[in-house]
Amino acid sequence: MTESADPATRTTIPTPPVAKKIPATRTHHGDSFTDSYEWLREKENPQVKAHLEAEQAYTDAVTAGQEKLRSDIFDEIKTRTQETDLSVPSRKDDWWYYSRMEEGKAYGIQCRVPAASTADPVADWTPPLVEAGVPVPGERVLLDGNAEAEGKPFFSIGGAAVSQDGNLHAYAVDNAGDERFTAKIKDLRTGELLPDVLENIFYGLAFSPDGSQLFYTVVDDSWRPYQVRSHRLGSPVSGDVILYQEDDVAMWTGFELSADRRSLVLSIGCAEYSETRYLSFADPDAGLRTVISRDERILYEAEPFLLDGVEKVLLTHNKDAVNSMVSLLDTTELGKPLAEQQWLTVVPHDDGVRVNGATVTKTHLVLSVRRDTIERIQVIPLAGLGGPEQAAAIEPAFDEELYTANMGGTDYEAPVVRLGYTSFLTPPRIYDYVLPLPSDNSGNSGNSGNSANATHLDGELLLRKETPVLGGYSAADYVAEREWADASDGTRIPLSVIRRADLPRDGSNAGVIYGYGSYEISMDPAFAISRLSLLDRGIVFVIAHVRGGGEMGRPWYDAGKKLFKKNTFTDFVDATDWLAGSGWVDAARIGALGGSAGGLLMGAVANLAPEKYAAVVAQVPFVDALTTILDPDLPLSALEWEEWGNPITDADVYRYMKEYTPYENVRPVAYPRIAAVTSFNDTRVLYVEPAKWVQVLREETTGSEPIVLKIEMDGGHGGASGRYEGWKTRAWDYAFLADALGATQLR
């Protein structure tokens, strides 16, 4: 990095590093594009690493004046966080499992204590009281993440499982950030590790019911999960059985145990259709059984279970149901042609309700649905399911308008459902919801005779914990509201607007607008301690629920993908216009924030409307999407065809993508202050994408605002590992925005 003197101020201004140009031309569908910086993809090239280190040095120099602000925000996050804390224990078989965090330590400690069984079912599923800093009687440590991470540049857990008898604990560790894990197995009776070690596996682990086998997933060279394998404990890994291999490069595969743990359920799919195969542990020699072939082009999830002693499959599917519905079928129907199968409707299709998923306990069906943008939980007794006597769905009630309620580790045997609850103003809560049973012929509740009803009522919400926020936090000091922006085509875009309650509506404040808008992922209401540092500096924080997400159901997603993807970007610009004209902010003091596919959004809107933003932070940004998706050998590229289209085979998709992908559309305009944040070992969005992007931005911009690349050399898609490093990363992003918006002082 070189420096130059500014004669006007006599201060030293760092000069950004300039990568050499090695032109490489790609040609598709008669169109040629010359890329001068594709050579930066050569990860092992010493010149590439030297260039990235120079970029980080430049970033450090440009943002040196933000160091105190970063430190202040980090301290605010740390001060508000109860560092010594415990999760609410969750019961599995004869044990209560939980994690605890200790002050000064970066990683969680996984623990368990024995569970008791009495004649009171709700009492048996009432978690033991665990308090921060107080020793827990009978506690046994399964895994201390801090000990595992010692001396390692990175540490992340990619899956864990305990055998049904409680004797074995398997866990997978990543020490590079590349999401390739090593699985180890500990004998919890002795504390010793077994000699079995599984290298280069992917997320997810599960034991067979007898504990003799460990199931796991393997990725191919493009990081696509394509194999499910079985390892028999005590045998050589080289002899592991491939239970299933998916050869279609556009399909992923994964697995989980069925809710009742009677089956291994394999899911194969893409964004538009899927296939489920399952293995019954009662009859493993029968092999995998297909529920619905992918040839039917149905997107579905399947849950095999016993209902009144009969094998059934619960289907959450989109057959003649764009927002999905739930059906029930007997396994004897599976061998018939689809048109001849008899499906019983459990939850009918509703244009206003998106069915996200369904599972079962031994007494209830548990549903996750979305209505009016809000994720909710509903339960239906299994008694009479799919018939004329089926009971109506029951939904726990909450007071806030904008909230999120989701399933949190529901257990098949439990008389309660574990719920997670949060909102923009309410820190995360954990509830147990006492499952309501149908009335008998006398009009009494089905479980009114047991001792649980003496203490707990059917349908009661039992608060187990609310995450503490230290430092005198009061929800009354803040406001979260639903607003709507009008898109240019007349579509109404939902916005979540969060601010301090005492903020004047005088048009002078700063604003940050955040967006994602891909993969049908919803940006649901959730509490964030770190966001308070922006709000307390007078910044209005807006989440734009743009098309491409899932907030308004499946059609909302469909309207922001493939040849409709530009709606995602124009929706965000229209949402920015709403904020600029809302009366809350100064239009010259708006910053934009987004990560991954939301980073693509940042790059696209920076090209579309650079004048509307004072600063942009693009986290692990997918800004060179066309280059990536044109090469199916690159990590995860082929899996993206169902989201963006396949530009290799479809000229219209190629043309459309080239019109919006950020890297190809940088132009000579005055770009705002931009930070591209990435990690060297990210396997989802490679570092090369933002590295190339910032080079072209600096070449083309007609403005004087700095454009920087912040790169974590020992991190993955989520950045550096450990909670303190995570806080530092968030403090860096927020300080960059607050500094650019002139909102550095607490109100």
Give the residue numbers marked as catalytic: 596, 682, 717
Give dist(CA 319, CA 300) in Å, integer. Answer: 8
Q: DSSP class of residue 573? A: H
The 3-state secondary structure of 55-119, one letter per residue: HHHHHHHHCHHHHHHHHHHHHHHHHHECCCEECCCEEECCEEEEEEECCCCCCCEEEEEECCCCC
291 within 8 A of 302, measured Cβ to Cβ: yes
Alpha-carbon gap, residue 562 to 398, rounded angstroms:
37
What is the C-alpha separation between 496 and 402, in angstroms, rounded? 9
Q: Both tokens of residue 583?
A: 């009366």
β-strand partners of 542: 497, 513
Please report the beta strands in 399-446, taking only residues with DSSP state E, as ranges in sequence order: 403-407, 416-423, 429-434
Helices and strands (H and E) in the chain: how many: 14, 40
CA distance 115 to 162: 15
The span from the first CA to the last CA of the chain, in angstroms, equals: 38
- CA 521-527-529 angle, to 5 degrees, is 125
Choose among 339, 248, 255: nearest CA to 298: 339
Instruction: Quote the DSSP letter at residue 422.
Output: E
Q: Which DSSP string do the residues of 14-55 spell out, in sequence order?
A: EPPP------EEEEETTEEEEESSGGGG-TT-HHHHHHHHHH
CA 65 – CA 462 distance, rounded (Å): 48
374 pairs with which residues across the strands? 371
Name the helix (H) or strand (E) containing 618.
Answer: strand 615-619
Question: What are the tokens at 393?
Answer: 């769905």
Q: Which residue has the tokens 């147990």?
A: 432
DSSP string, 275-313: EEEEEETTSGGG--EESS-GGG---EEEEEEEETTEEEE
Could you tell me how far CA 678 lies from the centroid of its own chain? Answer: 17
Q: List the Cα angle 205/379/414 in 5-degree steps.
A: 50
Radius of gyration of the chain (CA): 27
Phi, psi of 598 (to 5 degrees): -70, -20
Question: Is there a contact between 578 and 585 (Cβ–Cβ < 8 Å)?
Answer: no
